[in-house]
């Protein structure tokens, strides 16, 4: 007789061995049986832990994949072929009457705000603390000047203004002189019904900004909060001239007081040279011209000095980012390249600042870049690549050509600088004309079934039927060129492209364009001209379509352009308006039930989109006449220089 087996010893530890080779190696069958036997020998706790670890690994892997995929999309401009989703019928209902009531977002939107897609390095985006509505500072505070002055660095840390920020040295060459401001705008007829609709939209947007984001960069209308990009009151500065043009005097005055008392540039913050030039420098210069208030010019001059260190590179092609407190400039973290559109779309502003202040350095720095790029090889019939290296001064990523992101305003500023300077700088005109011919030769196609003319992209000889909404600046720019004496066939192209841009809006269920459209090149049953990939179906409240509608109406007086603009304004009201104040960019222009607000109102919605709509509906073609003004790429009007 043997004694009964002893009870299994109690284990007071857990051991999990995950072996990927070793004992379970060579022969398949044996390995499977052996692994299974080992698994059965584990206690329940051990098995649960092993399963838990595997599940954790899977979740981590999935999250890493999502992150990498998103970054790749942002960096590569979504060039990889994805499955496209055709725009579906029915498209928009018939245009509504002028008095149709806007339909708000519900007070509490049924879905969570969509994921934020950040511009630039993620830590540039400073967020309001959690907790919804935030009492940070209000217009009243600004007027009373009773809030202790703290500043926020781009890293999000609150710092004292005195803290070690050596100011960029100020050149001593010319004392600031304050010339007479430009012609401004005449007092015109009271706003018509559609212009009143724009004013109502502006006031609604401003209400949200004033209540929840006053003095901060951007309103987050759904969460009733704000986000910081540069910490310089971006929306407020971008909107100054719009308020002046719309006749919103008390709002303008309140904002002007904030600029006077709260807008200080002696801060340890990094700004993007291009974005801050077109929005802040452009906004201040325009506010100065319209109001004649020298405060804005003084601020512009101070800001301009703080941007100049960006140009101190081996090639004189500026870095993308500059710290306006320390004067330290640098390229983006991931490259030493700058974007071609960015380095070539700051000239209108720097040239004007130079003219107003008498300080040559502003103009010289900006024009040096223009001259350099004019003589650079790597173009294709006037079309430029998207990147340029700040050390070598050479184009990089050769062979890729687009009129969209990263190249767009290069073309716009060729024409507009030529106009600004009195049409004397023929080098700019030559480059512009050559580029438009390059567009015709390489990038123009017609879609099926409606034969819409669109501007695609070229990558190493391969044509892609992809057009960013950003490209919709082009019909307006072409028309502007014709107004200033360029060939009539540019207007023919402008009219065709304008129709296409309108259809990019109209063929979407919300009536709002996606960020990127793909055009159908081959007749296919059931396919529309405009197709949208899931990753491209957001709308950021961008201005380009209504910008071009403004030019086309001014120069043709065809009322259909006003009607199209009115439709778009109503679509913004129906699908992006947040009841408590503000408008939000949305994630899905193809879903009227769930447009998915992104909880962000971009500053250009007030600086550009609503301004161009207001001007589009004006019958006074002397209001900011195209013979006396040129709009920068952020819609800030600057004077055409009086001829010498």
Maximal CA-CA distance, the chain? 121
In angstroms, the CA 464 to CA 456 distance is 6
Is 409 an interacting residue with respect to ligand DMJ (CB under 6 A)?
A: yes
The distance of closest approach from Cβ of residue 345 to ligand DMJ in the complex, given in angstroms and rounded to an integer, is 7
Annotated catalytic residue, options 217, 238, 275, 293: 275
Question: Residue 495: is the preceding peptide bond cis (ω within 30°)?
Answer: no
The distance of closest approach from Cβ of residue 383 to ligand DMJ in the complex, given in angstroms and rounded to an integer, is 18
**Would residue 70 show up in a list of annotated catalytic residues for this protein?**
no
In angstroms, the CA 317 to CA 389 distance is 8
The distance of closest approach from Cβ of residue 28 to ligand DMJ in the complex, given in angstroms and rounded to an integer, is 58
Q: 26 by DSSP, 3-state: which?
A: coil
The distance of closest approach from Cβ of residue 68 to ligand DMJ in the complex, given in angstroms and rounded to an integer, is 26
DSSP calls for 322-391: EETTT--EE--TT-SEEEHHHHTSSHHHHHHHHHHH--HHHHHHHHHHHHHHHT-S--BTTB--SEEETT
Nearer to ligand DMJ, 533 or 542 (CB): 542
Nearer to ligand DMJ, 348 or 361 (CB): 348
**What number of chain residues touch ligand DMJ (CB under 6 A)?**
9
Q: Is the distance from CB of 580 to CB of 108 less than 8 angstroms?
A: no
Residue 644: both structure tokens together: 């010498």
Q: Is the distance from CB of 456 to CB of 476 less than 8 angstroms?
A: no
**Would residue 408 show up in a list of annotated catalytic residues for this protein?**
yes
Q: Is the distance from CB of 128 to CB of 220 less than 8 angstroms?
A: yes
Is 406 an interacting residue with respect to ligand DMJ (CB under 6 A)?
A: no
Nearer to ligand DMJ, 280 or 436 (CB): 280
Distances (CA, A) of 477 to 483, 486, 493: 10, 11, 11
Applying CB under 6 A, which of residues 77, 402, 576, 633 lies at the interface with ligand DMJ? Answer: 633
Run of H or E including 415: helix 408-420
The distance of closest approach from Cβ of residue 633 to ligand DMJ in the complex, given in angstroms and rounded to an integer, is 4
Nearer to ligand DMJ, 351 or 528 (CB): 351
Nearer to ligand DMJ, 223 or 545 (CB): 545
Task: Please count the residues of the chain.
Answer: 644
Is 476 an interacting residue with respect to ligand DMJ (CB under 6 A)?
A: no
Q: Is the distance from CB of 222 to CB of 599 less than 8 angstroms?
A: yes
Is 604 an interacting residue with respect to ligand DMJ (CB under 6 A)?
A: yes
Is 217 an interacting residue with respect to ligand DMJ (CB under 6 A)?
A: no
Q: Is the distance from CB of 348 to CB of 638 less than 8 angstroms?
A: yes
Is 634 an interacting residue with respect to ligand DMJ (CB under 6 A)?
A: yes
Map tokens 């990019």 to a residue.
Answer: 504
Interface of this chain with ligand DMJ, residues 252 to 281, rule: CB under 6 A: 278
Is 562 an interacting residue with respect to ligand DMJ (CB under 6 A)?
A: no
Using alpha carbons, select from 369, 128, 318, 101 the residue that is nearest to residue 227. 128
Nearer to ligand DMJ, 311 or 631 (CB): 631
Map tokens 């350095």 to a residue.
Answer: 361
Nearer to ligand DMJ, 321 or 608 (CB): 608
Annotated catalytic residue, options 342, 408, 536, 599: 408
Interface of this chain with ligand DMJ, residues 569 to 588, rule: CB under 6 A: none
In angstroms, the CA 274 to CA 346 distance is 6
Which stretches does DSSP call E strand in 246-327? Answer: 270-272, 321-323
Nearer to ligand DMJ, 585 or 588 (CB): 585
The string over 310-326, giving b where at least 16 C-beta atoms fall within 10 Å of a residue's C-beta and e elsewhere, is bbebebbbbbbbbbbbb
Is 542 an interacting residue with respect to ligand DMJ (CB under 6 A)?
A: yes
Annotated catalytic residue, options 457, 509, 544, 547: 544
Interface of this chain with ligand DMJ, residues 74 to 133, rule: CB under 6 A: none
The distance of closest approach from Cβ of residue 343 to ligand DMJ in the complex, given in angstroms and rounded to an integer, is 13
In angstroms, the CA 586 to CA 576 distance is 7
**Would residue 544 show up in a list of annotated catalytic residues for this protein?**
yes
Applying CB under 6 A, which of residues 327, 543, 581, 639 lies at the interface with ligand DMJ? Answer: 543
In angstroms, the CA 279 to CA 300 distance is 11
Annotated catalytic residue, options 238, 457, 499, 515: 515
Nearer to ligand DMJ, 114 or 404 (CB): 404
Residue ranges in contact with ligand DMJ by CB under 6 A: 278, 409, 470, 542-543, 604, 608, 633-634
**Residues belonging to the active site:** 275, 408, 515, 544
């Amino acid at each position: 007789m043997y004694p009964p087996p002893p009870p299994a010893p109690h284990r007071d530890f857990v051991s999990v061995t995950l072996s990927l080779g070793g004992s379970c190696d060579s022969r398949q069958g044996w390995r499977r049986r052996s692994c299974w036997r080992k698994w059965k020998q584990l206690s329940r706790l051990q098995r649960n832990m092993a399963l838990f670890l595997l599940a954790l690994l899977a979740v981590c892997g999935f999250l890493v994949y999502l992150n990498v995929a998103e970054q790749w999309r942002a960096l590569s401009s979504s060039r990889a072929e994805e499955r496209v989703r055709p725009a579906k019928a029915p498209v928009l209902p018939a245009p509504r009457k002028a008095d149709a009531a806007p339909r708000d977002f519900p007070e509490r939107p049924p879905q969570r705000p969509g994921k934020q897609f950040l511009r630039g390095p993620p830590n540039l985006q400073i967020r309001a603390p959690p907790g919804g509505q935030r009492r940070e500072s209000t217009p009243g505070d600004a007027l009373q000047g009773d809030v202790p002055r703290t500043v926020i660095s781009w890293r999000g840390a609150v710092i004292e203004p005195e803290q070690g920020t050596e100011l960029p040295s100020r050149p001593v060459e010319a004392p600031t002189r304050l010339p007479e401001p430009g012609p401004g705008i005449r007092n015109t007829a009271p706003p018509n019904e559609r212009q009143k609709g724009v004013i109502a939209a502006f006031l609604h947007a401003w209400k949200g900004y004033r209540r929840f984001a006053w003095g901060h960069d951007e309103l987050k209308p759904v969460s009733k909060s704000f986000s910081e990009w540069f910490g310089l009151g971006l929306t407020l500065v971008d909107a100054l001239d719009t308020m002046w043009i719309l006749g919103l005097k008390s709002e303008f005055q309140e904002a002007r007081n904030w600029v006077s008392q709260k807008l200080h540039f002696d801060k340890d913050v990094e700004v993007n040279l291009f974005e801050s030039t077109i929005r802040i420098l452009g906004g201040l210069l325009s506010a100065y011209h319209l109001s004649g208030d020298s405060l804005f010019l003084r601020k512009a001059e101070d800001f301009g000095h703080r941007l100049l260190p960006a140009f101190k590179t081996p090639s004189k092609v500026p870095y993308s980012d500059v710290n306006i407190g320390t004067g330290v400039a640098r390229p983006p973290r991931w490259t030493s390249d700058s974007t071609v559109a960015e380095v070539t779309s700051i000239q209108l502003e720097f040239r004007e600042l130079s003219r107003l202040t008498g300080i040559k350095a502003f103009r010289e720095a900006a024009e040096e870049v223009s001259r350099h790029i004019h003589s650079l090889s790597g173009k294709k019939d006037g079309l430029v690549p998207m990147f340029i290296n700040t050390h070598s001064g050479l184009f990089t990523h050769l062979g890729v050509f687009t009129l969209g992101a990263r190249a767009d305003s290069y073309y716009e500023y060729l024409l507009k600088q030529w106009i600004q300077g009195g049409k004397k700088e023929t080098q700019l005109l030559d480059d512009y004309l050559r580029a438009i011919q390059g567009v015709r030769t390489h990038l123009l196609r017609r879609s099926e079934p409606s034969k819409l003319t669109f501007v695609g992209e070229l990558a190493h000889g391969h044509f892609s039927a992809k057009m960013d909404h950003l490209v919709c600046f082009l019909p307006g720019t072409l028309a502007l060129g014709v107004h200033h004496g360029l060939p009539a066939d540019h207007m023919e192209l402008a009219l065709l492209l304008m129709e296409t841009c309108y259809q990019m809006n109209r063929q979407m269920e919300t009536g709002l364009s996606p960020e990127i459209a793909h055009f159908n090149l081959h007749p296919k049953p059931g396919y529309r001209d405009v197709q949208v990939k899931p990753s491209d179906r957001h709308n950021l409240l961008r201005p380009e379509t209504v910008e071009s509608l403004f030019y086309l109406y001014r120069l043709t007086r065809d009322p259909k352009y006003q009607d199209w603009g009115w439709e778009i304004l109503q679509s913004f009201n129906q699908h992006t308006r947040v009841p408590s104040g503000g408008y939000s960019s949305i994630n899905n222009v193809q879903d009227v039930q769930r447009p998915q607000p992104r909880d962000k109102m971009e500053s250009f919605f007030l600086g550009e989109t609503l301004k161009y709509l207001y001007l589009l509906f004006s019958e006074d073609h002397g209001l900011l006449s195209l013979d006396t003004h040129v709009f920068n790429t952020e819609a800030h009007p600057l004077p055409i220089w009086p001829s010498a």
